[in-house]
């Protein structure tokens, strides 16, 4: 005859008692009906993709505002190694999400979402914040230089080699910290700009010459925020891309990092897209 140890039963009783105590004290909250419906897709998941010379923390204030409205937000780390590979990585993140998705991108992140969303029926809206929105065959370098005004010039960049393989070397580009604030985030404080310059993530220089694929904005509704004081991507280039894809366009007196200097405007635009595509 087998003998069952009383220990598992004792553990179950202890766990049950702790749960009961937690519920009684309000330390453990059972999911409400509204929370359950949210998990089943009543609200879109919002995915926000950063660009070069930045990281996902640039979306922090926007994320907080959206979370307060009950939205699930994911801000993945963009690898910044190449258009096709970066888009494939973001597409793999999107593939793990059930239900509708609102997909946003800043700067080079716009080129990534343009490719990552193609063919994904869950992506209901695209949000571009001072971002690239290329058509098939275009490059971000070409779009940057289509109109004058960009200060992302060779003399304002620092280049560092990085290994691609044991026999192949790539080249990373950073904005020179001495001009980082003027070029990238002129409407932020000098102290904050200096911290961002120190922590900036470089982009592989080759991405400027890599051709984009079939754009998702041809079939997915798009919203575009033009940063009128942008010294990285000229405002004229932004308007050209936004008008070409027939986006819902807003303009703001902002540097390149509108999601940091004007998070309320950016989060409101995302909420408008979520409501319009519900």
Give the mean model confidence (pLDDT) for residues 165-174: 96
Report the distance separating Cα 92 and Cα 62, nearest Å. 23
- Mean pLDDT over each residue of the chain, to the nearest integer: 89
Pick from 106, 94, 8: which is nearest to 49 by CA? 106
Q: Is 111 helix (H, G, I), strand (E, B) or coil?
A: helix
Q: What is the pLDDT of residue 55?
A: 97
Degrees to nearest 5, angle at CA 117 with 103 and 107: 55
Pick from 85, 62, 89, 95: which is nearest to 76 by CA? 89
Please answer whether residues 85 and 91 qualify as being in contact, where contact means their C-beta atoms are separated by less than 8 angstroms.
no
State both tokens at 195: 């911290």
Q: Is 128 helix (H, G, I), strand (E, B) or coil?
A: strand
Q: What is the pLDDT of residue 13?
A: 54
Report the distance separating Cα 136 and Cα 145, nearest Å. 17
Q: What is the DSSP string of 212-264?
A: P-S-GGGTS-EEEEEETT-SSS-HHHHHHHHHHTT-EEEEES--S-HHHH-HH
Give the mean model confidence (pLDDT) for residues 61-90: 98
In the chain, the domains with their CATH numbers are 37-276 (3.40.50.1820)
Q: What is the pLDDT of residue 38?
A: 39
Share of the chain above pLDDT 90, in %: 85
Strand partners, 159: 173
**Band of pLDDT at residue 42, cut at 50, 70 and 90:** confident
Report the distance separating Cα 101 and Cα 125, nearest Å. 7
Share of the chain above pLDDT 70, in %: 85
Residue 49 has pLDDT above 90, yes or no: yes
Residue 228 has pLDDT above 70, yes or no: yes
Residue 23 has pLDDT above 60, yes or no: no
Give the mean model confidence (pLDDT) for residues 103-108: 98
């Amino acid at each position: 005859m087998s003998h069952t140890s009383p220990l598992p039963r004792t553990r179950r009783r202890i766990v049950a008692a702790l749960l009961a105590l937690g519920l009684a004290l309000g330390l453990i909250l059972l999911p409400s009906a509204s929370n359950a419906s949210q998990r089943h897709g009543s609200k879109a998941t919002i995915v926000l993709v950063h660009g070069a010379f930045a990281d996902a923390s640039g979306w922090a204030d926007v994320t907080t505002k959206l979370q307060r409205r009950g939205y699930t937000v994911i801000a993945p780390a963009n690898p910044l190694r190449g258009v096709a590979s970066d888009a494939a990585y973001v597409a793999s993140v999107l593939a793990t999400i059930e239900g509708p998705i609102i997909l946003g991108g800043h700067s080079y992140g716009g080129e990534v979402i343009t490719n990552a969303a193609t063919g994904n029926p869950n992506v209901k809206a695209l949000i571009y914040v001072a971002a690239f929105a290329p058509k098939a065959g275009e490059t971000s370098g070409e779009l940057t230089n289509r109109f004058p005004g960009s200060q992302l010039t060779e003399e304002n960049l620092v280049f560092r080699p990085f290994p691609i393989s044991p026999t192949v070397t790539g080249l990373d580009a950073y904005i020179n910290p001495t001009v980082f604030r003027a070029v990238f985030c002129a409407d932020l404080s000098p102290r904050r700009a200096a911290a961002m310059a120190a922590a900036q993530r470089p982009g592989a220089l080759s991405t400027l010459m890599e051709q984009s694929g079939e754009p998702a904005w041809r079939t997915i509704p798009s919203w575009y925020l033009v940063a009128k004081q942008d010294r990285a991507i000229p405002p004229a280039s932004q308007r050209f891309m936004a008008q070409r894809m027939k986006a819902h366009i807003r303009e703001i007196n902002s540097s390149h990092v509108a999601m940091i200097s004007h998070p309320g405007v950016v989060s409101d635009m995302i909420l408008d897209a979520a409501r319009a595509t519900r």
